[in-house]
């Protein structure tokens, strides 16, 4: 009789793992966050020179919009009045020491704006010239099981502040409409709904007593595997608009049971047949300069 060579089997009993943590649900990728800005010069100083990210060299290269590459994701910055995300974005942008050096270098260019940063034990909280916050996470900040533990460069989460009492309804919305994996949890005294996007990203809705900032039209874009099912469920509730061949939009997140609106955030929903899905994005190694350059050293080669 042959014995199993699989180390996970012993006495015909499979070792116990929490396989639910491997589930990703129907949401595949958070591709971009869109925030209008009034000044590309300040945006370049902050996002490119300060955070160390890369302006996309192929699309939106004019003066009316700029796309900033962050690993497999982007931050879209069309020209307009400054928009404020009601929450903040979690990023991985490399080592802390190099980030702080870059932020210090751009400080004179941004001193008349809302730009600034605060060092925490596990992250650097950076504020853009118009008040949007980006949490630049240290690699050591990842705990076992964190979805973003495998990311070296990328958007790892978008955290949004929502009114108290909305979390369970928001969780039910993503489960019922999108067949998403959602974890409802309590952290730092607040109830949260963490929606999985692929294997490494999350949308995190956090109940906040002072979540009253008006919505100004900023949006996110997601890719979904089952494109038609969520559309049919959203359209049946009269929530869809902007229908195109490979995408549609909705903004109101509602309680599936009562239909009451919980939160407003425009979602640009794309199918995996969209021409832009999985388009290779150019990301540079921000630590490389003309003084320390080595052949082919300008290309980012980390994970995700």
For residue 5, being part of any structural domain is answered with: no
Q: Which domain holds residue 206?
A: 23-271
Q: pLDDT confidence of 144, banded at 50, 70, 90?
A: very low
| Interstrand relation of 73-76 and 27-34 (parallel, antiparallel or unpaired) | parallel
For residue 280, being part of any structural domain is answered with: no
| CA gap 54, 145 in Å, rounded | 29
Q: pLDDT confidence of 76, banded at 50, 70, 90?
A: very high
Q: Among 234, 224, 230, which residue's Cα sits nearest to residue 272? A: 224
Lowest mean per-residue pLDDT among 51-55, 142-146, 212-216, 251-255: 142-146
* DSSP 8-class letter at 37: B
| CA gap 120, 128 in Å, rounded | 17
Could you read off the pLDDT of 93-118 as tens digits, one per residue?
A: 999 999 999 999 999 999 999 999 99
List the CATH number of the domain containing 133.
3.10.180.10
- Element (H or E) spanning 111, and its range? none
- What integer pLDDT is reported at residue 304 of this predicted model? 66
Please state the pTM of the whole predicted model. Answer: 0.91
For residue 284, being part of any structural domain is answered with: no
**Total domain count, the chain:** 1
Q: pLDDT confidence of 126, banded at 50, 70, 90?
A: very high
Write down the mean pLDDT value for the chain: 91
């Amino acid at each position: 009789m042959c014995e199993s060579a699989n180390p996970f089997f012993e006495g015909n009993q499979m070792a116990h793992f929490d396989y639910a943590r491997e589930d990703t649900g129907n949401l595949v990728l958070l591709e971009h966050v869109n925030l209008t800005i009034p000044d590309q010069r300040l945006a370049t100083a902050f996002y490119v020179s300060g955070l160390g990210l890369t302006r996309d060299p192929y699309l939106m290269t004019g003066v009316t919009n700029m796309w900033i590459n962050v690993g497999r994701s982007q931050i879209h910055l069309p020209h307009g009045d400054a928009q404020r995300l009601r929450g903040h974005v979690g990023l991985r942008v490399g080592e802390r020491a190099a980030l702080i050096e870059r932020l210090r270098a751009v400080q004179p260019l941004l001193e008349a704006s809302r730009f600034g940063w605060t060092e925490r034990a596990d992250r650097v909280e950076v504020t853009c010239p118009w008040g949007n916050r980006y949490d630049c996470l240290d690699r050591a900040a990842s705990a076992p099981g964190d979805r973003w533990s495998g990311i070296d460069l990328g958007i790892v989460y978008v955290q949004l502040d929502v009114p108290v009492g909305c979390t369970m309804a928001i969780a039910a919305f993503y489960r019922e409409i999108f067949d998403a994996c959602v974890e409802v949890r309590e952290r730092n005294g607040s109830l949260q709904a963490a929606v999985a996007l692929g294997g490494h990203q999350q949308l995190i809705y956090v109940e906040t007593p002072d979540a009253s900032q008006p919505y100004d039209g900023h949006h996110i874009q997601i890719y979904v595997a089952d494109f038609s099912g969520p559309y049919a469920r959203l359209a049946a509730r009269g929530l869809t608009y902007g229908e195109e061949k490979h995408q549609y939009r909705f903004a109101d997140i509602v309680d599936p049971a009562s239909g009451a609106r919980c939160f407003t955030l425009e979602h640009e929903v794309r199918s995996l047949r969209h021409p832009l899905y999985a388009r290779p994005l150019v990301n540079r190694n921000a630590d490389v300069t003309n003084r320390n350059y080595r052949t082919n050293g300008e290309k980012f080669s980390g994970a995700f």
